[in-house]
Structure 1
């Protein structure tokens, strides 16, 4: 095989795929519909598949990756070009006009014992149901046009040049078609040749539930957490769907324009992989600074209220027992949002949330809208005053 270096490289690639998959020639023949003898010839390098579709079918059954399919196509093209107009022994017999048929061997007696044949022998008979289809059978190659001789007429020379041009155009068209086939294969077409590409993203795999939700603990939750972190969310990646993950999923849904139900179903999965939504937001330092600038009359109390409500997290979301939610830095409720003509999306904007809280404060110039935290402030005030009184 020294003179067929590219053919041998192509054959060794096929052998590697077959051996890695653990398929015998007989098993591979049953799965691909290609005869066992042809498979053997392709894998030992005595023959090259007549078109890339045959090689692609073999590789796909053997579990080749898209990258391996692209490399296989490259090797097949080189091997096919190296083989050139030379035909294999089988093809030579088909091309030889009037060549006598090989003598048919005498039929064996059905009851006579047969010596076991190696399943990988090229002379072994094809098993039932594995005969090559017309699409996969090796077709005889057309003989290349012979160069013009000095005795040819000008008309014959023109016909020869035209024939060569037609051959070149046909070859270029074949290469383009094969490139398109390889490109489509690299997009992840399924081994069965289905029209739809297989979605290999983890959240869409069979290993993940259709809906990833609160209380779940597995790699699917971990994948969702990783995707949220990549979009700028401050979130632990531990594979447990707890309150923190619930808040981040809900915030992502609001920002992505998805119904904020707090569960990771198909729309949220798709957005996590494909949307450009970012969960980056203000730092606690910037939040404190801006609150002090807006609440000039009570800057310290306003910062304390926001810290009590949301830990200065602009994307903090808290569900209530009645099904409503509180949103953002000052945990503005759904009821207050409607009064202020706001939306959850606006409430997660820290600037809007601070300004909305100031509007609520201006009504009575106190923090009565946050009774829990305002009571904490009042109870802390005497303690602070007592601690500052000299003994």
Structure 2
């Protein structure tokens, strides 16, 4: 529970204070090409660009703080080798709490911590997607092998032919392929953005307003897929965001289906009594257009702080810090775990704890109920062990950052 012990797209960004010269598609390609002649044998490359972006931000924070890996490991209670992997992009933390501790100890500002959260969500989503694809591929290959390769014994008197020795895998072609893939994606992204820009200005490209619509509802037009989901960037996502915004949701209308849109879609589904799967299917589309009674207005951060302090009378400041670490004081904050469960609301109450408390996701998204439930959990032992990652982060935030 709390900062998740398990497992939100393409809207994250690195703060200007942390930007690196190679950020962006062209820089990524240039860096990959440069490494073609400069990579030691056996070095592991970041699994995907999202991991590299998170790693670059963590490296920049560490370098700015002046802390060594050893000093940072001691202050964050994270192993030195694990920190190296995080900062190289070869491993993604399974929970945001670890990232938050690193950022806090390195003196990250609130805006930088929010950017870190978005970048981690991007990398975590990419990791989960990649793991799922690998499992599918392994299952498919196993099935094909079983169907097409019969197992036979060597004929009597005939020596069995040894299996051919696998050729040594060459590192450079893999890097070249990665660079080519990134370049291809970059060109595609450039072409897509150019077309979108020209369409918006009426200078070429297909005008999205000309797409046929079903009774004026964009999401049911032929221009939109049957399911609008994470990773999309188009007019259909913009329509989803606008409909959520019209219902009072705090959401950017930027056509990017990223972590914030995922959270708001999931919250809307809870309020509308739909399965909270985070994708805009037909049922969700219909509800977005017809559920006039669903409102998604939430408490302001200041009101949240006041309520937490009023409820947690014995540890008001630490409780506020825990909630800020967990959800940025967003009552509709929802995060998925790698095991399929979710954490809900201000104090990110897990599905397991929610059942123990006799609550529902709808109740967990009510800030008053969520704060009261969190206080009940705290009162059992009068500590914040349910939020151990954020408890350490809150403790780190209270300590001055010193250089080794």
> What TM-score bracket applies, with the shorter chain setting the length?
0.3 to 0.5
TM-score (norm. length: structure 1)? 0.47
TM-score (norm. length: structure 2)? 0.46
Question: Which is higher, the Rg of structure 1 or of structure 2?
Answer: 1
